[in-house]
Structure 1
């Protein structure tokens, strides 16, 4: 982890060399998600909302998912842009270093300008919390933190799977955006508005429901059965991440190099 934070420190200093550019990009990232949130706001103002869900309840889910996505984009950007390392042959350099490939790819790129997107998500999250009658307890606070962290791990797992495909396809596949950008757009709304196949896929295959909709029922006091089980569901993100890392190790073992 010392090496990881060293990578982070070096890249942060390099990006801050052009401070005006850094802060302008961060400001742009702050305002970009507002167009998405504005769509959510106008949908509720025009149609009266989603059955069974108020605007602030949906806004809380929105804030959680977008903060998770921002964290993943900031900290796992190395895997998202991994195809450039394969195309250029730079991944061969990583293989001869005395450290694991996961930590090196993670440390190859950080997008610190995503703090703007995180700030916007934080504003929405705090605004929703202040307008909801939730009796906050240590367990509920922990659940909210695990929801954000779990969502980031799921997005990280998708980035890792997409990077793994580069060992055979060289270039990253756009189909991964269905599960990153598309997953973000889907998970920012309550899962019960979708049809059963969608619910099953995003609960048991890519468990976005376990970090947004289902634990949110526990926060709002709507859990059917033992609420503690709903609160612990964000841990399912680890069950998704571990096979992704296993797939990555499989890909590394079968990587043939550039031949240069």
Structure 2
């Protein structure tokens, strides 16, 4: 963690050398999801509800998944941009260092401008929570935090899988965006509004349902017993990163130098 924090500080100092650019990009990131949220708002203004879900319930779902996406884009950006290291042959340099390749790639790039996107998600989260009749308890507060952490780990796991493919394809594959950007767009709504096969895929294969939909039912008091199971769903969803890490290790072991 000491080395990771050093990576963090170095990148932060580098990005703050161009402060005007940093703040303009942060403001831009703040407004990028604004159009998406505006579309969500006008959708409910027109129809009132979607399959029994009210606006502020979906707004909470929206805020959680966008917070998780913003944090993963900020702190796991190294895996998203990993193809550059392979193409330029710079990954070979990481291999000869006496530190984990996972840590080095994770610390190779940070996008602090994503805090603009994070700020908007926090505002939506506070607005939604202020308008929902949730009977708060310590366990519900912990569940909400775990939902965000679980989302960060799932997005990071997807970035890792996409990065691992670069060992064989060299260039990153745009198909990964189906599960990052597409997964974010899909999971900003409760999964039960979709076809059953879609909900099952995003629950049992890529467990976004464990981030927002299932624990969201617990927060809103819509469960019929088994509250503990719904509370633990974010923890189970977080386990998605373990096979992703194993796949990454497999790719590292089978990596062949670019020869550059």
**TM category, shorter:** over 0.9
**Partner of residue 210, structure 1:** 210
**Partner of residue 59, structure 2:** 59
Residue 179 (structure 2) pairs with residue 163 (structure 1): no
Summarize deviations over 1:20-60 as a string: whole Å, max 9, x none: 11011001101111000000000001122212111000000
**Partner of residue 132, structure 2:** 132
Aligned to 1:259, what secondary structure does the other structure show? coil
Distance 1:238 1:28 in 2: 30
1:172-251 aligned within 5 A: 172-251=172-251
1:259 to partner: Cα distance: 1.8
**Partner of residue 93, structure 1:** 93
Distance 2:101 2:107 in 1: 10
Distance 2:36 2:123 in 1: 14
Q: After TM superposition, where is structure 1 displaced by more than 3 Å over at least 4 residues in a row?
A: none
Summarize deviations over 1:165-185 as a string: whole Å, max 9, x none: 000000000000000000000
Distance 1:93 1:235 in 2: 35
**Partner of residue 143, structure 1:** 143
Aligned to 1:171, what secondary structure does the other structure show? coil
TM-score of the aligned structures, taking structure 1 as reference length: 0.99
Distance 1:216 1:48 in 2: 20
TM-score of the aligned structures, taking structure 2 as reference length: 0.99
The two structures, once aligned, show a CA RMSD in angstroms of 0.7
Summarize deviations over 1:54-111 as a string: whole Å, max 9, x none: 1000000000000000000000000000000000000000000000000000000000
Distance 2:177 2:83 in 1: 15
Distance 1:238 1:116 in 2: 25
1:236 to partner: Cα distance: 1.7
**Partner of residue 15, structure 1:** 15
1:6-85 aligned within 5 A: 6-85=6-85
Instruction: Give unpaired runs (5+ residues) of structure 2.
Output: none
Aligned to 1:189, what secondary structure does the other structure show? coil
